[in-house]
Structure 1
Amino acid sequence: MADSARYRLEELTPVVAALHKSGYFEKHELKVLVETMHDFECKIKSTTLKKEDWKRYIDHQLKVEQLRKIRQATRRIKKLGEDEGRLARKGIERHIHFLYSRAVHKFKGATELWEDWIDFCQSSRSYKRLSKVIHEALSYNPGCTSLRLKATEWELEHNENPTTARVLFQDGLRKVKGNAAKILWIHYFQMELQYVHKLKSRQEALGISLSGEGDDEGDEGSNAEETAVREVLGGALAKLVLRNALSAFPVDLSMRRALLSVLNRHTIESAEGLEEIICCELKEKLGKMPEAWDVVAQHYYAKALGQKPWTQALKEATLAFEEGLHHAPHVVDYYVDFLLQQLNGQEQGKGDPSMNSGCSKDDSQQEMLKLQLRNICKQACKEGSCSDSVVLCWLDLERELGTLEETAGACALACRLRPLVPQTWMRHLSVETQLSQGTNSRFVKLEQVCLDALRHLLESPAVWRACMDVMLECGVVFKPVQELMIQLAMRGVQSSEMGELMGEFVSIVGRMDGIDCARSFFRKITASALSLHASFYKGVIKMEEEEVVSNTDAKRRKRISSLYEAAVLKAGQEDIELWVDYARFEYRNGGNYGHLLWRAEKAGHSAVDLDRLWQKGIR
C-alpha cells in the first residue's frame, strides 16, 4: 500500500518541482502538501474505501488549485520554460482529472462523481475531455436523467448542436421509463421551443425573412429548404415532441401541467396552438378529473390576464370551470378556491394596469365575486356534490349577504349534508341563538339543534363548548343535554379537554339550578362513568371551593376532601399537581397534608418535584 502511494506521488515530482521553482508554493508548504497527499493515497488503497474518501481527496486538490490561482493573481510568478510553465499551471488540474478518472472507474454507478467531474471540466474549460467524460458517463449510467440533461445542455448551449442533443434525448427515452422518462420529455419539449426562439432571434438579428417565393425555376431546392425552416419556426418539431409526450403518458396530469408551464415561459407564435393541444387533451382524456379542469381554467386566466382586463380573464376562467362542472361535479371545489383567491386579492397586480383600470378590485367587483361564490356554493350544496370547505364557505357568505332566516335555512341544510362536521353545527347554533332572543318557538328550535348536534358529535369538545355557551347565554340548562353528558361519561373520558368541559358543565348546572342539582348530577356521572379524567374532578372541586368561600361548613370541607380522594385514586399516578393541590387544601384547613405527600411519592412521583411544587404554592 505504501509503495503504491509512493509511486503515485513520484509521478508528480516534476509538477511539485515546477510549483516550487515558479514561486507558487514554498518548500515547507509543498512538504505538507505531499504528506497530505500520501495519507490520501494510502486511504484510497484500503479495503474499506468509500466514495467519500475520493471526494475528500479531490476537494483537497481543488482547494490547492484555487490557492494556486489566487497566488498567480497576487504574486509575481517567475517565468519558466514552456514545459515547466505548463506543468506549474496545469499540473494540479491534470491530477484532479486523474483522480476523478480513478474514482469513477472504481464507482461507476456514482452519478454524483460523474456530475462533479463534468462540472469541473466546464469550470476548467477542458472541453475536449468533457465530451469524452459525458459519453463515458452515459455508457455506464444510461438511465441517469441528470447526466443526460447535462449532456444535452452542453450540446445545445456550448456546441450549438441541436441534432446531437435530440439524439441524446431520443436515446434516453428508449432506455428509461416512468418519472425519468417524463422529465426527459418535458426538457425535450423545452429544448425544441428554445431552438425555435434562437432561430427567430438569429433571423431578426441578420435581417433574414422567409418569403417562400422563388425567383427562378432552379430555386426549387431553395424553396424546399425554406419551407422546412418555416415549419420548424412554426413549431413543427415542438408539436411532434408534444404529441409523442402526451401519447407516452396518456393520463398523466402532472406532466400536462408541467408542459403548460414550459409553454408559458416561451413567447413564440406557435405557442397558442400547442397550448390548445394540451388543453384539449386535458378536457377529452382527463375530463373526469376535477383537477384537470382547474389546470385548464388557471391557464386560461393567467394567459388572458397579461393581455385583457381582469374581468375578461375572470370570465374565461369561469367558462372553463362551468364546462368542467358538466363532466366532473367536484370541480366546484377548485372553482370555489379560485374565486376565493380572487376575493382575497391573491391575484391582484398581474394584469396590465392600463387595461385593467388599476389592479385593485373595487367594491362592485368584490360584491360581484361574493354573489357569484354564494350562488355556486348554494347550487353545489343542493346537488350534494361539494366538500366540507364549500359548505362552510356557503354558510359564511349567507351570513354576510343574506338574512338570519335565510342563513338558518342554509345551516339546517348544511347540517343534514355534513352531520359529522362540527363547524356546521356551531354556525347553526350561533344563528339560532340570535333568532331565539325573545321568541319561544325559536327557543325550542335552539334546544333541538343542540340535541341534534350532540347526538351526531357526542365526543366533540368544540360542539360541547358551543352548546354550553348557548345555555349560558340563554340562562337555562337543557335537561336532555344532561342525559347526553351521562351517556358520554359511560363511554369513558380519556382526554384532558373533555374532562375539563364536563367539569365546567357541572359548574353550569350549579350556577343555573343550584349547588344541590350540580352535586346530584355529579353523582350520576361518577356512578355511570367508565373512566374519568383528573381535569373533570378539578372542575368540580373548583366549584365546591368557590361555594366554601361564603360558608366554611365542615361538611362541605369534608365533601371537597372526598372529591380530592376520589380524584387521586382515579388519576393520581398521572397528575402530580392533583396531589399537591390536595395537600394544600388539607394544609389550609388543618388536615394531615404530610401524609398526602408521602402517598404521592409512593404513587411514583419524584420527591424533588413534589417539594418544588409544594414550596412554589406556599410562596
Structure 2
Amino acid sequence: MADTVRYLLEEMVPELEALEARGYFSRAEIRAIVQRRQDFEYALKRMAAVKEDYLRYVAYERQLDELREARRSSRGISGKRGLAEWCITRRIHFIYERATRKFRGDLGLWSRWLRFCASSRSGRRMSRVLAKALQLHSGCAALWAYAAAWELEHNLNAGAARALMQRGLRMCPHAPALWHEYFRMELVYALRLRERRRVLGIDAGDDAAAAAEDAAASGDDGGGDGTGGEEGDEGGGGGDESAAAVAAVLNGAVAGVVFRSAIAAVPASVPFRARFLKLLRPLHFPGRAALEDAVYDSVAADFGGSPEAWDLRARRQALALAPGAPPAARRAAAAAALALTAALLRFLQQQLRELDEEGGGGGGAAGRAAGEAAGHAQQQQRRQRAAEAAELARWLVQWSRRVYEEAGAAGLLTEELRLQGIAFFLHQGEVEAAAAAARAAVAALPHSAPLWQQLIAIQAVLAADQLAGDGGQQAQQARQGAGSSDDDDDDEAAAAQAAAALPGTAATATRHSSAPAQRRLEEVVLHALWAVPAADAAPLWLTAVGVLCGGGCSLQALSQQMVQAALRQPKGPVEGGLGVAAAALLTALARAGGIEAARSLYRALLPLPPPGGDFFRCLLQLEMQEEAAAAAAAAATAGSQPTSGGSTAGPGAPLPLPASRLRDLFEAATGAYGSEDVQLWLLYCEWQASRGATGDVAGVCWRARKALRQPEAFETAYLVRFKLHPTLKAA
C-alpha cells in the first residue's frame, strides 16, 4: 500500500512544480497539499474504503481548484493555460474513475461525475463517462435521457440524440419518462427547425432545395423503436421531398409518431397520456392543436368510461373556454359547465341505448321517440338540449359540493384542494358559500397564508356589497324624507358639520367602518396577521393593506399590528420581508392621512428592530417629497407676494422635517443597512445634492464606498446618475 501511495505522489511532482512555477502556491503550501493528498490516498487504499472517502477527496480538490482560480484573478496571472490550469481537474476525474470502479452500482456517484464533467466543460470526458455508465446501467432510463439531452443541447447533434433515445427505448420499452423525453425532444427540435427557417427567410412555398435541406436535418440514422421507418420516410426523401411533407415535420409529425408508439408500449395509463398534454401546453406552433386532438381522441377511444378520462376531458373544456371567455366569470363558468355536461349527456344517452338494445323491448320506443324528435322544430330541439344540459349541470354542481363536504369532514382536504374548492364556489357565483369554505379552511389550516388571502378577498367583496346596499337604502330614504321637516334638515347639517371638522380620510374611515361587514373585514385581517408566521406573512400584509385601503377602513389597528410584528421579529432583509409591508402601509397612511399619519407609524417603528430596507427607503422618499413640495410652495408664494412676510405655510399644514432630523433618519438607515443597500446611499446622495451641498455629497459617496461590501455597483450607479450634474464632477 505504501509503495502504491508513494508512486501516486511521485506522479504529482510535475503538476505541483507547475503550480509553484506559475505562482499559484508557495513551497510551504505545496508541502501542505502533498500531505493532505497522502492522507487521502492512504484512506482510499485501506481495506474498508468507503464512498465518503472518495467524496471528501473530491471536495478537497474542488476547493483547491477554486482557490487556484481566485488567485489567478487576484494576482493577475495570465498567459496560455497549461498543466497548472488543468491538472487539478484531471486529478478529480482520476478520483471519480477509481470511485466508480470500486462502486460500479452506485448511480449517485455516476451522476456526481457527470455533473462535474458538465461544470468543468469536459466534453470529451463526458462522452466517455456516459458511454461507460450506459454500459453498466443500460436499464436506467434517466441515463439515456441525460445522454440524449447532452448530445442535443451541447453537441448540437440531433441524429446522435435520436439514436440514443431509440436505443434507450429498446432497453427500457416501458419507461414512461423516456417516452416523454423523446416526445419533448422531437417537439423542441421541430421548433428549432422552424426558427431556423424563419431566420433564413425560408417560407413554406420556397424552393425544394431548402425543403430538402431541412428534411435532411430532421432525419435520423434509421435505428428505432418501431418508428424509424416513418421518420425515415419523412426525413430521408432528399431532393424529392415534397413541401407538404416538410411542413408536416415542422408541425410535429415526428412527435406524433413518437406518441403513437408510446401508447402502444404503455397502453393502460391515462396519466401517462396526460403528461404529453402538459408537455404541449407551453409550446405554440401550428401543429399543436392536431397533437392535442390526437391525445384526447386516444383517451376517449381507449378509456371511454374511466373517471380519469372524464377528468381529463373536463379540464380540456375548462381550459379551452378560458382564453375567449367573456369578462363575467359567472358566464364563463356556466359555458364551461354546459359544454362538459353536454358531453356527459351524450355518454349517458349512449349507455341508455345500449341498455335498451340489451333488453330487447325498448328499441321500438326509442325509434318512435326518434321519429317524434325529428318532427320538432329546430329551435325546440335547441331549447330542449339546453334544458337537459342545465339540469345535468345543476346535478353535477350538487354532486361536487357533496364530495367536497365529505372530504372535508373526513380530513382529506389539503391546502391546494381547499383553494380549489373556494375557487369552485366563486366560479358558481356563490360568494357566501366560498366565504364559508374559506372560514373552514383557515380554521383547519390556520398558518396558511394563501387561504387567509382568499378569505380576506372574499370578505372585502362582501363588505363592498353591503356598503353598496346600505348606500342605496340611505339614498331611497333621503328621497322619501326630503322636505318633511326642518328639524331633520338641522340634524343633517349638524352631522355634516361634525364630519367636516374631522380630517377628510378619518371621516371617511369612520363612516365606512360603521358597517358590520367592514368591522368583520378588519377583524379577519388582524386575525390573519396574528395567525400566519412572520416568515410567510409578507404577501398577506400587502393584501391586507390593499384591501383595507380600497374599502376605506381605518388603518390605525393595522399600524398597531405592524408595530407588534416588528417587535416580535429580528432585523428584516434589505429587500422583501416585513419591510415591503411596512413601506406599503406608510404609503397608504401618507395618502389617507397625510405625512403626519406616516410619521406617527415610522416613529413608533424606529426604536424597534428595523423591518427592512424597503421601509427606510419609503419613509425617506416620503420626507424628501414633503420637503420638495414645501420648497415649491414657498417659491410660488414668494413669487406671488414678494413683499409679504411671515410663514408661507397655511394654518394646520404639515411642516417638512428640519434638515438635521432628516439627516438623522438617513444615518439611522445607513447604520442598519449601509453595508448592503446601494439604493439607500444613492438616495442619501440625491438628498444632499438637492440641498446644493457638494461637499456633503462627496462625503456620503466616500462613506458608501467604505461601508458597502460590494461598492462596484454603487460606483456604477453613482456615475450614471450624477455624471451630468455640474456640481458633482469633482466628487
TM-score after normalising by structure 1: 0.51
Matched, 1:323 2:336: no
Q: Tell me how far apart the structure 2 counterparts of residues 135 and 331 of structure 1 sit (CA, whole Å).
A: 56
Which of 1 and 2 has greater Rg?
A: 1
Q: 2: distance between equivalents of 1:149 and 1:214? A: 34
Q: 1:54 to 1:255 in 2, by over 3 A?
A: same
8 Å contact from structure 1 (residues 291, 334) kept in 2: no
2:319 matched to 1:299?
no
Alignment partners' CA distance in 1, 2:337 and 2:281: 16
- Taking structure 1 as reference, are residues 148 and 213 closer, same or farther at Cα in structure 2, changes over 3 Å only? closer
The answer as to whether partners of 2:104 and 2:136 remain within 8 angstroms in 1 is: yes
For 1:149, give the aligned amino acid.
A
Aligned-residue offset at 1:96: 0.9
RMSD: 3.9
Specify the alignment match of 2:306 in structure 1.
289
The 5-angstrom pairing of residues 455-494 of structure 1 reads none
Alignment of 1:5-16 (within 5 A): 5-16=5-16
Q: Does the 8 Å CA contact 2:208/2:241 hold for their aligned counterparts?
A: no
* C-alpha displacement of 1:236: 1.0
Q: 1:152 to 1:47 in 2, by over 3 A?
A: same
Q: Determine the structure 2 residue equivalent to 1:98.
A: 94
Aligned pair partner of 2:106 in 105, 110, 122: 110
CA offset at residue 78 of structure 1? Answer: 7.6
Aligned to 1:614: none
8 A contact 2:165–2:182 mirrored in 1? yes
- The DSSP-based 3-state class of the residue aligned with 1:277 is helix
Count residues in correspondence: 352
Following superposition, the deviation at residue 297 of structure 1 comes to 1.2
State the alpha-carbon separation in 2 of the partners of residues 170 and 28 from structure 1: 55
Rate the CA distance shift 1:250–1:78 in 2: closer, same or farther, 3 A.
closer
* Shift in alpha-carbon separation, 1:5–1:346, aligned structure 2, 3 A: same
| d(CA) in 1 for partners of 2:401, 2:194 | 39
Maintained 8 Å contact 1:138/1:148: yes
Letter in 1 for 2:201: G
Change beyond 3 A, Cα 1:246–1:130: same
Q: SS in structure 2 opposite 1:266?
A: coil
Is residue 2:182 matched to residue 1:162? Answer: no
Secondary structure of residue in 1 paired with 2:151: helix
Q: Which amino acid aligns with 2:121?
A: R
Structure 2 residue identity aligned to 1:32: A
Partners of 1:294 and 1:331 within 8 A in 2: no
Match of 1:49, SS state, is coil
Corresponding residue SS for 2:241: helix
- Residue correspondence of structure 1 range 49-448 to structure 2 within 5 A: 49-77=49-77, 86-178=82-174, 181-211=175-205, 222=239, 224=241, 226-309=243-326, 312=332, 315-316=335-336, 318-320=338-340, 322-323=343-344, 326=348
Name whichever of 250-259 and 317-326 sits farther off. 317-326
Q: Once the 2 structures are TM-superposed, how far is the Cα of residue 16 of structure 1 from its aligned partner?
A: 1.0
Amino acid in structure 2 at the alignment position of 1:236: A
Amino acid at match of 1:266: L
The answer to whether the 8 A contact 1:298-1:317 is kept is no
Instruction: Render the CA deviation track for 1:527-582: whole Å, top value 9, x for unaligned.
Output: xxxxxxxxxxxxxxxxxxxxxxxxxxxxxxxxxxxxxxxxxxxxxxxxxxxxxxxx
- 2:173, 2:265 within 8 Å by CA — same for their partners in 1? no
Following superposition, the deviation at residue 331 of structure 1 comes to 11
Residues 365-395 of structure 1 deviation map (CA, whole Å, 9 limit, x = unaligned): 869999xxxxxxxxxxxxxxxxxxxxxxxxx
| 1:29 maps onto 2:46 in alignment | no
Q: 1:261 to 1:364 in 2, by over 3 A?
A: closer
Secondary structure, counterpart of 1:295 in structure 2? helix
Query: Post-superposition shift, 1:109?
Result: 2.1
What displacement does 1:146 show? 2.2
* Mapped contact 2:147–2:161 kept (Cα < 8 A): yes
The secondary structure found in structure 1 opposite 2:267 is coil
> 1: distance between equivalents of 2:206 and 2:340?
39
Change in CA separation of 1:317 and 1:54 when aligned onto 2, cut-off 3 Å: farther
Cα distance in 2 between the residues matched to 1:262 and 1:318: 28
Q: Distance in 1 between matches of 2:159 and 2:3?
A: 49
Cα pair distance change 1:265/1:363, threshold 3 Å: closer
Deviations 1:315-368 (A, max 9, x none): 346533552873799999669779999xx99579x9xxxxxxxxx969968699
Whichever residue aligns with residue 340 of structure 2, its letter is: A
Q: Using the alignment, how far apart are the partners of 1:221 and 1:265 within structure 2? A: 32
Distance in 2 (CA, whole Å) between partners of 1:27 and 1:117 is: 31
Q: 2:489 aligns to what? A: none
Instruction: Tell me what 1:557 maps to.
Output: none
Give the drift of 1:76: 3.5
Q: What secondary structure does 1:76 align onto?
A: coil
Change (3 A) 1:336 1:147: farther
Give the Cα–Cα distance (whole angstroms) in 2 for the partners of residues 201 and 148 of structure 1.
27
The offset of 1:126, in angstroms, is 1.5
Q: CA distance change for structure 1 residues 278 and 330 in 2, over 3 Å: closer, same or farther?
A: farther
Counterparts of residues 488-507 of structure 1 (less than 5 Å)? none
Give SS of 2:82's match: helix
Change in 2 beyond 3 A, CA 1:18/1:333: farther
1: CA distance between counterparts of 2:427 and 2:180? 40
Q: Which amino acid aligns with 1:231?
A: A
Distance of 1:241 and 1:177 partners within structure 2: 12
Instruction: Supply the AA of the counterpart residue of 1:99.
Output: I
The equivalences for 1:535-550 within 5 A come to none
Q: Structure 2: how far apart are the matches of 1:271 and 1:65?
A: 47
Is contact 2:22–2:84 with CA below 8 Å preserved after alignment? yes
Task: Report the secondary structure of 2:138's partner residue.
Answer: coil
| Structure 1 residues 317 and 126: CA distance shift in structure 2, 3 A | farther
Is the CA contact 1:22–1:78 (under 8 Å) kept in the aligned structure 2? Answer: no
Amino acid at match of 1:283: A
Report the CA distance between 1:290 and its aligned residue: 1.1
1:213 Cα offset (Å):
6.7
Determine the C-alpha separation between the residues in 1 that align with 2:184 and 2:286: 15
In structure 1, distance between residues paired with 2:400 and 2:277: 18
Cα distance in 2 for partners of 1:363, 1:249 equals: 38
TM-score by length of 2: 0.43
For the residue of structure 2 that corresponds to 1:29, the secondary structure is: helix
* Counterpart code for 2:266: F
Provide the residue aligned with 2:706 in structure 1: none
Q: Which runs of 5+ in 1 are unaligned?
A: 351-359, 371-619
Distance 1:56 1:70, change over 3 A: same
Is contact 1:213–1:223 with CA below 8 Å preserved after alignment?
no
Structure-2 change in CA distance of 1:332 and 1:274 (3 Å) = farther
Quick one: distance in 2 between partners of 1:336 and 1:24? Answer: 72
- Report the CA distance shift for 1:336/1:170 in structure 2 as closer, same or farther (over 3 A): farther
In 2: Cα distance, 1:296 partner to 1:169 partner: 30
Distance in 2 (CA, whole Å) between partners of 1:276 and 1:41 is 61
Once residues 105 and 259 of structure 1 are traced to their aligned partners in structure 2, the CA distance between those partners, rounded to angstroms, is 38
- 8 A contact 1:189–1:238 mirrored in 2: yes
CA spacing shift, 1:230–1:56, aligned 2, 3 Å = same
Q: Whole-Å Cα distance in 1 between the matches of residues 202 and 401 of structure 2? A: 47
User: Deviations for 1:384-416, whole angstroms, at most 9, x for unmatched residues?
Assistant: xxxxxxxxxxxxxxxxxxxxxxxxxxxxxxxxx
Question: Percent of aligned pairs with the same residue?
Answer: 34
- Give the CA deviation at 1:66: 1.1
